Every structure is written in structure tokens, then in C-alpha cells.
Structure 1
Amino acid sequence: MKAVTRWDYRPFVRFDEPERALWPYICRVAPECGGFAFEWFDKGAPGTGHLLRYRRRGAVEWEVEQQISDPVIKVGGLCDGVDYEFCVLRADGSARSLVRLVRTGKIPGDTVVNYLHPEDPACIHSGYCLCTPTLVRAPSGKLICGMDVYARRGGQNLTLLFESQDNGTTWRYLAELYPCFWPKLFVHRSGLYLLAQTGEYGDLVVGRSYDEGKTWGLPTRLLPGTCLHFGPHHAAVPVGEYYGRLWTSVEYGSWAGGGHDMGYIYADADSDLTDPESWGISRFLRYNPGWEGAPPGAGRGMVAPGGGIEGNVTLDPGGNIVCLYRVDLTKAGGWGKALMLEIDRNNPGRGPVFRRFVDLPVGSNSKFCLQYDDVTKKYIALGSEQSETIKLRKVLSMAVSDDLVDWRVVHRIFDFSHLDEEMTKKVGFQYPDWIFDGDDILLLTRTAFGGAENYHNSNSITFTRIRNFRECIR
């Protein structure tokens, strides 16, 4: 066995069990009404006969065994809301995939990109929930998306990549990146890049793919982490180009360590982004509960620390670089606040400075994603809306603003506000990542629905096209 020279795997397996990489592998699962779909391959014996077996979970015998050859299989005629077990095996019995789990039934959104049952051990070395959706259109025109696999106190070190050649109608498996967590895909100068971390609070790294996501060289380390009590924190937040540089927010600290300080990284837009010498790291700013307008209960040092995380770098109407951060008010029972910091483009190493707090209905207790629309000249933020009557993350909404200060909700993309308190704990639409597509918005959502462990620990990543979104704004 040779030393590691790449970031990508198809699939990633334990290094003391290399033979598993040559067994049948189920690489994508998607529940449907009355059934489910899945994608698979067998690198060890691609031309031999294969069988699909499935049964209700807990049944002693396999209920169905059928021959398969197509890489994408649809199974129908099943009962909704029921857990099924299934696997793929070679007809000669020489190898089989892991037994996978799926709960049948419709999940809100146009398409389920990928699904992971909370008791499915397929990615247990990393986790059992699908999180951190990230979406980009590649230079060729195809869509590429990613997601990581999360579990509290789990390995948190695996990212799954998928592609769509038909604008999101169907999705196919692309690759797995390890170690890779909190991924953010972005395109710059026709190159496909990914900012991520090697684990929760692990090293902050950047990698590049020269074949639109199929293969990746080893990533470049930008900022060291510990994977324990403190380190960098970078979610799937915007990477923007302003005044000849790329900018994206990064925090430093940890939840367990008392909170996060706020900063950013930056690079010359014409530089080699895989060279660590190209990047600069700002000083980090500690949250100050004494800032004017600071909401009660926000800030470092809480049992569930608040302050600002997951910032969105953009330009304000005056052309200044600012960053809007999510403000955590969960323990205080609050909602609807975002924190705005300002960045000095002439002195980038200085770090951000406080400007103000903003009333933003999607600004607290969950990540929001903000972009500027050149057509309407408005700022658009998608995130989990909360209010006196809307708790947790059961409503995903679109808010708009002319000036980054005054915001209004214009559209509820997913609205399950009717759910009772108990059901609210099991449903979540959160952590959106999205791009413009002409008159539409293409949206990727971290979704907890149909048997998720809870609203936070999502079991699927879904794709949705918001058609003619500007009609909502006008």
C-alpha cells in the first residue's frame, strides 16, 4: 500500500480493510412515495451478475431478491413511513454491500440528493446525519453539491460529493473526501475549489479539482486546529471577490470552549489558491455583550455560547465590505437578530470591527445564506425563520432588504409552522446554500423529515428550484 496522495476516494474504507473498496457499494439513497431509489457500483466485479435483496426492517427472511444491472435502481409498491433493509450482492455470493436502511415516503423538496437513516452504520466512522449542504455550478454547466456526515462527538471527517447533468432533476455520486468536514464549494477563475476542515475544529484547508469534482489532490493547510477544545470554524458561507481579493468569514474557538471569535481569511484574486502563501488571516474579534443594541443572552460564555458565527461577507450599499453573522439566542429564548461587522479592505489583517445589530427574521439560532441580486438591487437571505409562534427550524424563508438593515420576509419556502410541539422537534429545514439561475434560485437544504432523530440531526439533503423568485420580491 502506498502513502496517501489524494483527497478523494470511491469509496473511503478503513485502511486495514482495503478489500471493502472492491465490494458492491451503495453510494446514494433517496426515499420516495411508496418506495425508494439508490445508486450502486462494484469496482471489484463490474461485469458480473448482481442481486438486490430487501425486506421490512426486522423481518427474518428477505422478502424480495431480484437481478439488477443498472447503476440506479428504483423500488416501488412499498408502504410509506416504513423502515426497509436492503443490500446488493454478487450472484455468485462472493461479496455483498453493507445492509442499508431507508424509511419510505415523500420528503419535501424537488429532489432528495442523498439520505442517511439515523441508524444506518454506513458512515459511522464520521457520523449518522447529513449536514453542511454546499452547491455550485461548475464551469461546464453541471451542478455539483456536497454534504458532510455528522454525529455529536463522532469522527466528523467525511464529505460526500454528487453531480447533476440536468439542472438538479437527477443526481449521481461523484466522490468522497476524507478527512473533510464543513465543506464549501466555490468556483474561481474557472477552477473548482473546496474550503473545509479536517474535522470539527480541525485544520482549515483548501483543495482544488481539475476534473470538476471527480478527483482532488491533497488539500493545502491554511490554519491549524485541534479537533478538540478550540480551532477554526468555517461553514458553507459565501466566498466573495471584492477589490481584487477573495474574502470569506472564519471564526476561532469552539462551543465547548466558551464560544467563537470572529474573523476572516483573504487572498489575492489572481494568486494560486492552493499556495498557503497566497492567503492571509485576520485578527479575531471577541464578541462584546456591551456593544450597542446587543440582545440579552447573546455572547461568549453562555452554556450554549452565542456571539456571531457563520458570517456572510458582502458589500453594503456604500461599497464597504461587511459581514453579517448569525446570533445565537437559543438559551435566552430570543430570535431575529444578526450582527454586522465591517472589514477594512485597505488593512485586511486588522480584523473586523463592530458596526451594529440588525433585525433579521432568519438571523438567529441557525445559519442563513445571503447574496446580492444585481437585477432587483436587493439583498436576499435564506434561512430558518423564527418568531414568537415559530420555534426551532420548521420554517425556511426568504427575506429581502435594500440596505442590509431593514428586512422583510417575502416567501416561505418550506412552512411547517402548523406542527405541534412534539412534531416540531423532529422536523427541520436549515443551513441553506443556494445560487442564482436566471429567474430562479437553486437551493440545497439540510432537511430533517420522515424519521430523523431530531430537527437538528438531519437525515437528508434536498434540492429545490424556487421559480421566478423575483415575483416574491416585487
Structure 2
Amino acid sequence: MQAQQTKAKGLPGTVVAHQASHAKVYIGSPSIAILPNGDYLAAHDFFGEDSSEWTATKTAIYRSKNRGEAWKLETEIMGAFWSSLFVHKNNIYLLGTDRHFGNVVIRKSTDNGTHWTEPRDENSGLLLTGEYHTSAVPVVVYEGRIWRALETASGVEPDWGKRFGAMMISAPANTDLLKAANWTTSHSLPYHSAYLNGNFNGWLEGNAVVAPNGEIYNILRVDDKTSLTEKVALVSVDKNGLLASFDQNKDFVDFPGGSKKFTIRYDQVSASYWALVNNVPERHREAYHGQNPSLIRNTLSLISSSDLRNWTIRKEVLHHPNADHYGFQYADWVIDGNDLIFLSRTTWPDSNFEAGNSRQSKYLTFHKIFDFRALLNV
């Protein structure tokens, strides 16, 4: 697979990667970072029936030296799945699992993403052993600690979603992040069948976010198949990284696109939290009435909030009228000056393939929202 393959008709954005085959292998878990030298680094993994996601999957790393105009495959990493890129002290890290429901592992690059360490044991990046779930979610540095949300995947209930427990890991920012002993693990909050009047099917893909009052939140996607009024869960984590708490009466919050994966980050310049989400537009709610909102991924919008509990849609960024075969999902983004840049796991037909559903993504695409803060004044 190579970057910059022939672009399908009408496909928005710049193609970073294209899985051009009939095989049931799809592009997942987009992650993007801006390196100290100004390069953009992009990562994605592979999933699907014909992939090796359950055994020894891989993550591909791409580089752009011209601010996203062109991309080149840099390397492929075996045993990396659901992983986040982040920069810390001029080094690049990749944190996720080693396979579907696998161990938690972290890798380090000291040469801007060309070569990576291998997590062989507890001193070289093997942080937790067992069954874990996550995605390419944010890593936050706050009050001298690094914070990263994930989920246990070994709950009593075996079903997807219901097996997940919400948790947070953290480590002192000035320690060796490859050593498991430096990381603290919170207890996990399991699935609870009574939440949302019995319509709660699990929480997942949590975001580590620092609230305006300094509290640390794990903000999670919430699976409720019965309502187009989507929600997220705000789980509080104490500053020692040990205790997680949740109040079902106040901590389920209305959030456009909350039943799909999202990335929330704070922007100091605008004093606002921003997220890219797969909302269900008001103009389509009648047509989608009664459908499972988590499968509706054909709209990508930029939203913002000042308090993490009240969110406003600022711009519809991408949309296709066909929700069954098109999707702009799992968007990961960062800020570059006045602009917001992002990657999308994009479902779009090519000459060899038409998706059977919105999740069968064959493209990784790059996009830019110019002068995004001006949208606060629209």
C-alpha cells in the first residue's frame, strides 16, 4: 500500500492512504501529530475480517513535509493497534494496544518517527497485560502528569460495549514512560444495565480532558441505540489517578455525535473545548428516526464548548447524503497556528469496492479548517 494513490471521484481532502482491494481489510484509528521539526505525522491501523487485528496487527506511519499537501509511508509497526501519537519532550510516542483486546503498550521514537522502540517487557513499553480496548484518543499533560484514557475489556458481560470498563492511566511527566512501574492505573467503572432507563449499552473510547475547574475527566462515547439525542459520559478521576467516579443523574451530557468516536481538545487561545463529531443533523432526524445513531457517520461537524456540558455546532465540515455507504469517522485533529488539521477514516467507493456499510473505510484522508476560531463569532 502506498500513499497518494488515485483519488476516487468526488472524494474530499487529500489521500494519505488507500486500502485498494476487495479484501475485507479496512483503515482504522487515525492519529495525527505535529513534530518539533514541523513535519506532520499520521498513523492508522488495519481491521476487518481479513485483517490480523486479533493476532499481530500493524500500524502504518506516514509523514508530510509540506503541511499535508503530500504524504509518504515512513514505516510500519507490527503489534500496534488502537494507538495515539503524541509528542513529549521532543520525542514521539505511540500508545495503544498490541492487538484487538490486547495488552497496553507504548513505543518511543527519538528520530521523528522513523524508528521505534519495541515493547518487549515492563521496562521497554509493556504497560499492562490482559484485555484492553481504546482508540486514537488524546494524551494530556496536566500538573506534572501525563493522562490517557482506555477501557478494560474483560467485564462479566461478554458482549461488545457491555464488557468495557472506563479507566485512566497516568504517569509523572518527567519519568521514563517506557517503564510500567511509573504508570498509575485507576480502578475501572463497569457497565451498568440500569443506566439511561435500561438503554445503556456501554461506554468506550474515552478522552482525557481537564475541566475548567481543574478536575480531570474521562469523557466517553455512550452507546444507546434508541435515541438520536446522543450523549457522552463525564467520569471524574482524582488527581492521584486512582479513583474514578460517575453520577448517572448529572454526568450523562447531551453531545452531538456522542454515540460515535470523537476527539476533544482544549484551545487556550479561544478558551474553548473543540471536537469533531458525527452528529445527526436536525434536517435529517425525521428520515433517520428509529435508526441506530452509532451507524450514522455521513456528517462530520466541528463543535465547541466553554464548560464541557453545553455544546454548540459551529460548522458542518463534511457531508454526503448517503448514510449507508459513506462515512467521515474517527476524526483526529490538532491545531496548527490559526488552522485545525485533521485525519478522517473515510468510507468512499473506488473502482474496486463499494462499502456494504459506513464503517468499511478504505481511505485515510487529510483535511484542514482554516481560521477555525472565527467560527465562534458566526
TM value normalised by structure 1: 0.70
What's the counterpart of residue 94 of structure 1?
A: none
1:284–1:352 Cα contact (<8 Å) kept: no
Determine which of 216, 233, 250 is the counterpart of 1:339: 233
1:112 maps onto 2:87 in alignment: no
2 CA distance for matches of 1:253 and 1:325? 15
Taking the aligned partners of 1:328 and 1:461, their CA distance within structure 2 comes to: 25
Cα distance in 2 for residues equivalent to 1:224 and 1:153: 25
Separation (CA, whole Å) in 2 of partners of 1:263 and 1:352: 10
Asked if 1:128 corresponds to 2:21, the answer is no
Do the aligned residues in 2 keep the contact of 1:245 with 1:269 (CA within 8 Å)?
yes
Q: Contact 2:204/2:220 (CA < 8 Å) preserved in 1?
A: yes
Letter aligned with residue 246 of structure 2? V
Give the equivalent residue in structure 2 for 1:143: 40
The equivalent residue for 1:349 is 242
The 5-angstrom pairing of residues 12-23 of structure 1 reads none
Q: In the alignment, residue 344 of structure 2 is paired with which amino acid?
A: T
In the alignment, what sits opposite 2:199? Answer: 297
Unaligned stretches of 5+ in structure 2? 120-124
Aligned counterparts of 1:433 and 1:295: Cα–Cα separation in 2? 32
Render the CA deviation track for 1:11-40: whole Å, top value 9, x for unaligned: xxxxxxxxxxxxxxx5335232xxxxxxxx
SS in 2 for 1:192: strand
Partner letter of residue 456 of structure 1?
R
Amino acid at match of 2:374: E
Q: Give, in whole Å, the separation in 2 of the partners of 1:340 and 1:428.
A: 26
Separation of aligned partners in 1, 2:303 and 2:40: 25
Native 8 Å contact 2:25 2:50 kept in 1: no
Residue 166 (structure 1) aligns with: 66
CA separation of 1:295/1:402 partners in 2, compared to 1, >3 Å: closer, same or farther? Answer: farther
Cα distance in 1 for residues equivalent to 2:139 and 2:117: 21
Aligned 8 A contact 2:297 2:327 in 1: yes
- CA-to-partner distance for each residue in 1:413-469, whole Å, 9 max, x for gaps? 1022xx2xxx42110111010000111000101100123342101010100010011
Q: Give the secondary structure class of the aligned counterpart of 1:186.
A: strand
Equivalent AA in structure 2 for residue 297 of structure 1? N
Partners of 1:31 and 1:105 within 8 A in 2: no
Q: Which runs of 5+ in 1 are unaligned?
A: 1-25, 33-103, 121-126, 226-230, 299-305
Q: Supply the distance in 1 between the matched residues of 2:376 and 2:198 (Cα, whole angstroms).
A: 32
Q: 2:170 aligns with which of 248, 266, 269?
A: 266
Which residue type is aligned with residue 133 of structure 2?
A: H
Task: Indicate the residue corresponding to 1:276 in structure 2.
Answer: 180
Residue 190 and residue 202 in structure 1: after superposition, are their counterparts in 2 closer, same or farther (change >3 A)? same
The equivalent residue for 1:243 is 143
One-letter amino acid of the counterpart of residue 393, structure 1:
R
Greater CA drift, 384-393 or 279-288 = 384-393
Q: Specify the alignment match of 2:274 in structure 1.
A: 380
The amino acid that maps onto 1:433 is D
Partner of 1:468: 371
When the two structures are superposed, what TM-score results if normalisation uses the length of structure 2? 0.88
Matches within 5 A, 1:15-54: 26-32=1-7
Preserved CA contact (<8 Å) 1:118 1:453: no
Deviation at 1:324, TM superposition (A): 1.2
- Match of residue 459 from structure 1: 362
Distance 1:403 1:282, change over 3 A: same
**Alpha-carbon deviation of 1:275?**
1.1
Q: Which SS does the other structure have where 2:374 is aligned?
A: helix
C-alpha distance after superposition, 1:71-110 (max 9, x if no partner): xxxxxxxxxxxxxxxxxxxxxxxxxxxxxxxxx423112x
- Give me the whole-angstrom Cα distance separating, in 2, the residues matched to 1:359 and 1:403: 13
Partner of 1:433: 332
Corresponding position of 1:214 = 114
Deviation at 1:118, TM superposition (A): 4.6
| Aligned equivalents of 2:301, 2:176: Cα separation in 1 | 37
Contact 2:43-2:60 at 8 Å conserved across structures = yes
Q: Distance in 2 between matches of 1:163 and 1:154?
A: 24
1:361 to 235, 256, 264: 256
- Residues 348-389 of structure 1, C-alpha deviations (whole Å, 9 max, x = no match): 22234346111111212x101101111111111111112524
Task: Render the CA deviation track for 1:232-257: whole Å, top value 9, x for unaligned.
Answer: 11211110011111111110126736
The CA distance in 2 between the partners of 1:29 and 1:376, in whole Å, is 34
- Contact 1:135–1:143 under 8 Å retained in 2: yes
* Identity percentage of aligned residues: 31
User: Is this contact kept in 2: 1:118–1:452, CA < 8 A?
Assistant: no
Residues 242 and 295 (structure 1), Cα distance of their counterparts in 2 relative to 1, 3 Å cut: farther
Q: Which of residues 424, 429, 446 in structure 1 aligns to 2:345?
A: 446
- What is the correspondence of 1:192-231 to structure 2 with a 5 Å cutoff? 192-219=92-119, 220-225=125-130, 231=131
For 1:472, what is the secondary structure of its paired residue?
A: helix
Describe the superposition over 1:202-240 as per-residue Cα deviations: whole angstroms up to 9, x where unpaired. Answer: 111000011111111212111113xxxxx1112111100
State whether residues 262 and 352 of structure 1, in contact with CA within 8 Å, keep that contact through their aligned partners in structure 2: no
SS at the partner of 2:181?
A: helix
User: What CA distance in whole angstroms lies between the structure 2 residues aligned with 1:164 and 1:295?
Assistant: 47
SS at match of 1:277: helix
8 Å contact from structure 1 (residues 29, 116) kept in 2: no
Instruction: Give the match for residue 122 of structure 2.
Output: none
Deviates more, 1:441-450 or 1:215-224: 215-224
Return the structure number with greater relative CO, CA threshold 8 A, min gap 6: 2
Change (3 A) 1:29 1:376: closer
Conserved 8 A contact 2:297-2:329: yes
